Structure 1
């Protein structure tokens, strides 16, 4: 079974300084049909206006991944991390027993465009943690590059869930396959451009949810950037 999640059907909130599209129920957007997909709980496509950002706020018991598309996102947290995330970099923060952080766009003219991704951890009460790493374009060109995993395989960031996140760039004849093990779920989110995934023509913001499917195939991309999630069947 493959379920199409069109970009236009996502939740939307515009706070002036923040324009956000919600793939799953979040804040004032509630859709019982789209609460999560396995442990994948949040994909918010956020655009933060120049000189604006999220003030210090708390999280707990969540794996939070930031994936910047344009601009830069300044991060500061209660663990002592002070970093700036730019396109090509991926950040993973394990909130665990509790952490506070802020995220800000210090550019005075440009918008910061990024994806905020939350994945439920395999267990609660873990020690908070933080990782950030750059994944170059060549490693994602025409293939799915593992960027987050439960064991840090292939130089990926490590998260506390039996899930894997891949990133890929596709143009023209470039194509990639991902085998989906029996009993596993998968989710593909087209970040930008266009591509055909298992025969579905996708545009930016569109997604596909997979259950009881053996394989995902990505092809016919035009300036396509995709994120793919290999997930256990049930939230922890």
Structure 2
């Protein structure tokens, strides 16, 4: 297999009165044996949360959880006593470690929050839970590193050999996808219209790559999230 496109409309979906959530990989009641994650990448959920609502207190362990806020803001609180907000244009990493309880609520009184929540499996279980948060670096075009092991990205405490970056592309750009033998790429289209190998790409599509792949050609401005995975 060179590349596999996970089309946006084939994602799982959870709809509640306060939440509309799309699942790239199996999550909750959505179960697809062909979509159980890719390497260390286990979850990509795209969520819309109405004002005054959110995820009540719940537990996590042995997972690195990234929250990238695209619109609005998220108010979070946890069992370690942390309280704070993550706003549009910011990214948060919660290392669940040996175990943590937390809540995530829409922090706005009048605006729907739109976010991506990503779960990445760490190489080792246990450890001390912790947080990092950062604003996305200023970006006109090209790639910006967001998260990775120590020394890479704005957030530097991922517990796996995974590197996360975001691309701002412009209409007409061509994005090459260099391949490192033994590693895999997973791409998530945040917004925009593009194509790869003659296949159309639009917001919510995922592209799973484990061999050299064609360039991506952009037909509008757009953003792309890239996971470089061991």
SS in 1 for 2:172: coil
Corresponding residue for residue 36 of structure 1? 37
Aligned residues of 1:144 and 1:176 also touching (Cα < 8 A)? no
Runs of 4+ in structure 1 over 4 Å off = none
Residues 10-29 of structure 1 mapped to structure 2, 5 A cutoff: 10-29=11-30
Corresponding residue for residue 58 of structure 1? 59
SS in 2 for 1:32: coil
Corresponding residue for residue 163 of structure 2? 164
RMSD: 1.6
CA distance in 1, matches of 2:119, 2:107: 24
Structure 2 unaligned regions, length at least 5: none
Describe the superposition over 1:49-99 as per-residue Cα deviations: whole angstroms up to 9, x where unpaired.
111011111100000000011111111112232121112111101001001
Describe the superposition over 1:22-58 as per-residue Cα deviations: whole angstroms up to 9, x where unpaired.
0000111100000110010000001101110111111
Residues 71-220 of structure 1 mapped to structure 2, 5 A cutoff: 71-138=72-139, 141-197=140-196, 199-213=198-212, 217-220=215-218
Describe the superposition over 1:203-226 as per-residue Cα deviations: whole angstroms up to 9, x where unpaired.
00011100122x563432523111
Aligned residues of 1:170 and 1:221 also touching (Cα < 8 A)? no
SS in 2 for 1:43: strand
CA distance in 1, matches of 2:128, 2:84: 20
TM-score, normalised to structure 1, is: 0.91
TM-score, normalised to structure 2, is: 0.93
